[in-house]
Structure 1
Amino acid sequence: MCAWSEIFTSKDHENHHFISRPPIFKRWVLEGSHSITNLPFTAHDQSSIEQSKKPQLKERFFHFSSAAVSKLKAKANKECNTQNISSLQTVSALLWRCVTRVRHQANDSETVCKLLVNNRCRVNPPLSDDYFGSPVDIISGTATVEDLMAHGLRWAALRMHLTVSNHDDAAVKKWVESWYRNPVVYKRNGLFHPNTTHIGSSPRFDMYGCEFGLGKALAARSGSMNKADGKVTMYPGREGGGSMGVEVCLLPEYMMELECDEEFISVLKSN
């Protein structure tokens, strides 16, 4: 999107275009693996997208100011005696705790927070930021409901930080190697579960910097295929400065409770 925007804003009268960061199309392939893989379909209809009935959902858009994010991050790092927990990890931990609380799961049941992560910088040698494609992975922080609720935000934030930190070159290549041995095409209905908070996108994406002649966007939103119970989509706040816009999708009864959740609302009020 940013490249398209740059082409739009830099074209001259002779129809020349300029991209400051040209995409890199050379494919990364795991050493010793074949560059072409057959997908596990034996019939044409197996490759079609499933048309399962979607549950009724409520979506809300919450704004975290740069001050609120900084305060929350500082609190988590101070209580963990570290400076390594990021803003995204801290806000993700908050959402994980609050969404789990409003779902009223049994204390001994497992709850999961999934993060969609960029593998470009995690393989060795790293891929360029301009590598064209989608080298991403889903990593999971897990806990029992009892532990997640009892140990506070710092514990959840540290758990998310360790989950991200442990996703290194060896972990990426192990996953890719297992996929080569048993190729699988992921479908939407296999990604979302009732005990999962699934966090995607990033406040680092330049959603508001893309210009196509209509001026700065008023808001960033996602499409219908990006919504499910427990799906959270992160955006930068429109004013920048480390602020965040967060799109949350939940079943109606859970959303009603989230809007009254004391821990969640206290952070929003600090805006």
Structure 2
Amino acid sequence: MVVKFKDSSLLKPAEETWQGCLTLSEFDQVGSITHISTIYFYRPDQNWVTQPETIANILKDSLRRTLVPFYPLAGRLRWIEGRRLELDCNGMGVQFIEAESDSKLDDFDDFYPSPVYHSLFPAVDYNLPIHELPILLVQLTRFKCGGVCLSLKISHAVVDGHSASRFYLEWARVARGQPIAVMPFHDRNAFQARHPPAQSLVFEHTELNQPPILLGQSNDIEVKNKKNTNTMLRLTRDQVERLKQMANEGTNFNNSDTKRPYTRYETVAGHIWRCASKSRNLRDEQAMQLAVWMDFRSRIKPPLPQGYFGNATFYVNATSLSGDLLSKPLGYASSRIREAIEKVTNDYVLSALEKLKNQPDLTQFQDLHRAIESDQGSFHGNPNVGVVSWLTVPFWGLDFGWGKEIYMGPGTHDFDGDFVILPSANGDGSVFVALSLQVVHVDAFKKHFYEDFI
């Protein structure tokens, strides 16, 4: 796809905002600290604003006004002692790029994540010092048919998915002339007021202590560097319900070990895990990890404020031998995932926070660029997977005044074993799974994904 870049500018808040350094929590500074990518496509209709300059101006003006309460996004990150980050709220601004393409929306077979669409996203040069990188980058691309796409990259060191989606929705409200619905809460010291758990409740936190499980006995660079590809697969409501039925078959929900039926996430993630193992032809004795990202906003006591604007997620690992995963029913995979999820209690979160606070250096827990594979702190790659849930994240329904999107999805993923589960736009109960796998495994994965529950 040929995309011509027309303009790039830094947009600052419309009014003067607080200036100073914002302390980040340890949960902001571990895992991936690059940018979360999201893209929206809009198709023209009879109410469409026809002038591209008008569309751009509406977006830019409303963005500048939304940055007033969301002023941290206009700042810059910088390194401090102990490989830690702080957020300099200096009002330098967010990057806004305008582009156009001779393509039409009808030229797209689908809008699923693909390297073909790289030019629709703003580029981030991670070779630059981190204090030179915008925290938020936006690209508006207008197509020949009059449709547009809006792509966004926002720093994962500043926000998680819930905070990012909240900002996007508030920006759209401002563009439509409506007030902010939920004002952001910026005090990252909200965790500090909580007492750490008693010594008897300090947990091992193997997700922080152990390196990723390797394929075989050594880290096979040749295997690790095989080419990856992206695709999107859909499960209808009936297929999701069939998987849930399979996962819950033979389970006594009155048993204390199983208090409730397996959720949609536990079921679909378990199915993904089994299909990945099959498609990779893993040996029975091969150990595997599935990383689960947990939002703990409501799991800690007291819960974080509704508008908490930062990272409130933490990952835990479900583990299994490949042979156990495949020889046992789907419910076994779901049970391993639930076991990991249920570890994330108030005391578990605060214990992890204390452990990270006591680290003299956070380097081993950080991934500055997940697209560049690292031996430290990365769960990605054969035999492991990571399954992120967007099932409860309100990314859909971004209306700037010209209607809701026809498609929304994550950006392309360049690393093996990354999965994102998304709900359908119309709430019909179907789900989409955006995935990145090595090319040699994709066809087998698709086969198992659709045939293993017929």
Which category of TM-score, normalised to the shorter sequence, fits these structures? 0.7 to 0.9
Q: Structure 1 residues 32, 164: closer, same or farther in 2, change over 3 A?
A: closer
Rounded Cα–Cα distance in structure 2 between residues aligned with 1:249 and 1:141: 19
Shift of 1:233: 1.2
Secondary structure of 2:268's match? helix
1:26 matched to 2:213: no
Shift of 1:135: 1.3
2:304 corresponds to which letter in structure 1? Answer: L
Rounded Cα–Cα distance in structure 2 between residues aligned with 1:112 and 1:221: 25
1:203 is aligned to 391
1:109 is aligned to 286
1:239 corresponds to which letter in structure 2? Answer: N
Shift of 1:171: 1.1
1:71 is aligned to 242
Shift of 1:108: 0.9
Aligned length: 241
CA contact (8 A) 1:111 1:144 kept: yes
Which structure has the bigger radius of gyration? 2
Rounded Cα–Cα distance in structure 2 between residues aligned with 1:136 and 1:2: 20
Shift of 1:58: 1.6
**426, 429, 436: which one aligns with 1:239:** 426
CA RMSD of aligned residues (A): 2.2
1:265 matched to 2:436: no
CA contact (8 A) 1:58 1:249 kept: yes
Shift of 1:55: 4.9
Shift of 1:267: 6.6
1:42 is aligned to none
Q: Which 5+ residue runs of structure 2 have no aligned equivalent?
A: 1-167, 197-223, 254-259
Secondary structure of 2:320's match? strand
Rounded Cα–Cα distance in structure 2 between residues aligned with 1:202 and 1:208: 10
Identity %: 21
1:3 corresponds to which letter in structure 2? Answer: E
Q: Which 5+ residue runs of structure 1 have no aligned equivalent?
A: 12-16, 34-52
Shift of 1:99: 0.5
1:85 is aligned to 262
1:168 matched to 2:345: yes
Shift of 1:32: 6.7
Q: Normalising to structure 2: TM-score of the pair?
A: 0.50
Shift of 1:140: 0.8
2:356 corresponds to which letter in structure 1? Answer: W
Where in structure 2 are the equivalents of 1:103-182 lying within 5 Å?
103-182=280-359
Where in structure 2 are the equivalents of 1:27-66 lying within 5 Å?
27=188, 28-30=190-192, 31=194, 55-66=226-237
Rounded Cα–Cα distance in structure 2 between residues aligned with 1:218 and 1:54: 35
Shift of 1:73: 1.8
Secondary structure of 1:259's match? helix
Rounded Cα–Cα distance in structure 2 between residues aligned with 1:64 and 1:200: 16
Residues 36-64 of structure 1, C-alpha deviation per residue, up to 9 Å, x if partnerless?
Answer: xxxxxxxxxxxxxxxxx975212111111
Higher strand share: 2
Higher helix share: 1
Rounded Cα–Cα distance in structure 1 between residues aligned with 2:269 and 2:184: 30
1:193 is aligned to 381
Residues 145-184 of structure 1, C-alpha deviation per residue, up to 9 Å, x if partnerless?
Answer: 1111111201111111121112111111111111111141
CA contact (8 A) 1:64 1:237 kept: no
Rounded Cα–Cα distance in structure 2 between residues aligned with 1:92 and 1:4: 32
Secondary structure of 1:199's match? strand
Q: Structure 1 residues 89, 215: closer, same or farther in 2, change over 3 A?
A: same
Secondary structure of 1:258's match? helix
Q: Normalising to structure 1: TM-score of the pair?
A: 0.81
1:138 corresponds to which letter in structure 2? Answer: Y
CA contact (8 A) 2:247 2:329 kept: no
Residues 69-114 of structure 1, C-alpha deviation per residue, up to 9 Å, x if partnerless?
Answer: 2232233234322334210111000000100111112211111111
1:3 matched to 2:164: no
Runs of 4+ in 1 over 3 A off after TM superposition: 30-33
Rounded Cα–Cα distance in structure 1 between residues aligned with 2:327 and 2:382: 21
